Amino acid sequence: MQLSSWGTTMSRLSGIRSIMDDIAATAGRQSDGAWCNLSPGNPAHIPEVVDTWRRLAGEALREDFFAAGGQYGPSRGTNALVDAVVRYFDAAYGWGIGPENVVVGPGSQLLAYMAVNAFTGPTAGGERELVLPCVPDYTGYQGLSMAEGGTAGVEPVVVHEDERRFRYAVDLDAVRRRTSMGAMLVSSPGNPTGRCLDAAELDGLIAIAEERGVPLIVDHAYGQPFPRVVDAPLAPVFHPHVVNCFTFSKAGLPGERLGFAIGPAEVIDVLVSFTANAALHAPQLVQTAAARALDSGDIDVLAAKTINPYYRAKRLTAEELLHDRLPESVDWRLHSSDGGMFCWLWIDHPWFDDLDAYRELKNRQVFVVPGRHFFVPPLDTPFLAGHGRRCIRLSLSGEEDVIARGITCLGDVLTEQQRNA
């Protein structure tokens, strides 16, 4: 059977597909201590979070089973959830939005996929590309565009903060040089780095989106208002050229596939049609539970009192372990973090190769993610050919002993690789 060009593009083994394969390889095996998985974006199983969602899902099941689960509903999302989102965001940010500005989808990944393909690829004005304004960024963005080679990543400016710490900055001039842009997409706080856009960067990207007449899609998967794994105060903005994506995944429901987007009505309307055509609508029982979480304020309690402090503590522990267990003689640097669920490490030596390190760690039953998956291939610029192969991502959502074991193994691997170099 002959695959179409879209079929060929979508069937390639992407970074996200290999992460999902690693999740499958370790699923159910963490408990016997065999695998040490510092790879997935799965949120941690925090007892208070699990209890709250179990209670809310139980209420939805008891009280709304037929209304929510027993019949088809609106492609925009259930009235209960859409109205709850409108009330919640108006109260939090004073946006003055209405239901026409909201669409609920089966996960924010699918919402991003729809938004990207609605504005990039072949258009009446020629091929338009998806621009990632600051790579490295979420590896799941690379499989979104159905156009072959339809995604361009813009290299960041690297800022050295001290001998163990660095940071990327958005190169707005380089973003502006992308001439055939159809949409921009950025995560903030970012996966893998934990960096948040600052006000000047966000304003700069919005100005470019306006100049080019394209949407800027901002992915708040880890940010405000929930799960709020973020310490930087920059709030999301409502703007005619900004589509904001939010998800319940990192607030404890990754398996239920529920996200929503807020943006200008004409863009949201496109996404509602896309949803109707591709999926009819998102699952509804979980929408009922999510509406209850927003209306009751339970989601704010979880975000502020449980999820945010949990990851802040994990991050501190991981940083201490890195300083304690990685060899003094190795030039490793950590991206300074504003939030998120990961540590992004740069091992600045020609002998370090992220894929070799991944394989070596996997032999010791430790999973990390090779850094190259977060840069848009081909890694053919001098910066990416070097830097793009010298980074790895570690997840903070495992138990402390798993993180400690993984970082200890990483220290052993680095010591051996340096000795053999």
Interface positions with ligand PLP (CB under 6 A): 41, 107-109, 138, 140, 187, 191, 219, 221, 247, 249, 254, 259
Cβ nearer to ligand PLP, comparing 151 with 247 = 247
Beta strand 181-187 pairing with 216-219: parallel
Question: Residue 421 CB, nearest distance to ligand PLP (Å)?
Answer: 33
Report yes or no: 219 and 112 within 8 Å, Cβ to Cβ.
yes
Cβ nearer to ligand PLP, comparing 78 with 247 = 247
Question: Residue 419 CB, nearest distance to ligand PLP (Å)?
Answer: 35
**Between helices 79-93 and 285-296, what is the axis angle to 10°?**
30
SS3 content of the chain, % helix, strand, coil (to 5): 45, 15, 35
Question: Residue 249 CB, nearest distance to ligand PLP (Å)?
Answer: 3
Q: How many Å apart are CA 135 and CA 127, to the nearest integer?
A: 21
Q: How many Å apart are CA 65 and CA 224, to the nearest integer?
A: 30
Cβ nearer to ligand PLP, comparing 247 with 417 = 247
Cβ nearer to ligand PLP, comparing 75 with 249 = 249
Q: Which of 300, 217, 311 is nearest to 264 (CA)?
A: 217
Question: Residue 126 CB, nearest distance to ligand PLP (Å)?
Answer: 29
Question: Residue 129 CB, nearest distance to ligand PLP (Å)?
Answer: 20
Q: How many Å apart are CA 406 and CA 35, to the nearest integer?
A: 10
Q: How many Å apart are CA 229 and CA 108, to the nearest integer?
A: 17
Q: How many Å apart are CA 137 and CA 276, to the nearest integer?
A: 29
Q: Which of 352, 356, 361 is nearest to 394 (CA)?
A: 361
SS3 326: coil
Cβ nearer to ligand PLP, comparing 219 with 338 = 219
Question: Residue 259 CB, nearest distance to ligand PLP (Å)?
Answer: 4
Task: Annotate 206-247 with three-state secondary structure.
Answer: HHHHHHHCCCEEEECCCCCCCCCCECCCCCCCCCCCEEEEEE
Cβ nearer to ligand PLP, comparing 166 with 246 = 246
Question: Residue 193 CB, nearest distance to ligand PLP (Å)?
Answer: 11
Alpha-carbon distances, residue 406 vs 83, 230, 257, 400 (angstroms)? 44, 24, 29, 10
Cβ nearer to ligand PLP, comparing 126 with 255 = 255
User: Which residue is it, tokens 């973090």?
Assistant: 337
Cβ nearer to ligand PLP, comparing 150 with 223 = 223
Question: Residue 198 CB, nearest distance to ligand PLP (Å)?
Answer: 18
Question: Residue 243 CB, nearest distance to ligand PLP (Å)?
Answer: 13
Cβ nearer to ligand PLP, comparing 244 with 249 = 249
Cβ nearer to ligand PLP, comparing 104 with 318 = 104
Alpha-carbon distances, residue 227 vs 49, 253, 300, 310 (angstroms)? 11, 11, 8, 11
Report yes or no: 171 and 157 within 8 Å, Cβ to Cβ.
yes
Cβ nearer to ligand PLP, comparing 310 with 332 = 310
Question: Residue 258 CB, nearest distance to ligand PLP (Å)?
Answer: 7
Alpha helices in 231-368 (DSSP H): 265-279, 285-296, 298-301, 308-325, 354-363
Question: Residue 382 CB, nearest distance to ligand PLP (Å)?
Answer: 27
For residue 67 the two structure tokens come to 């209304």
Q: How many Å apart are CA 409 and CA 308, to the nearest integer?
A: 28
C-beta neighbour count of 264 within 10 angstroms: 17
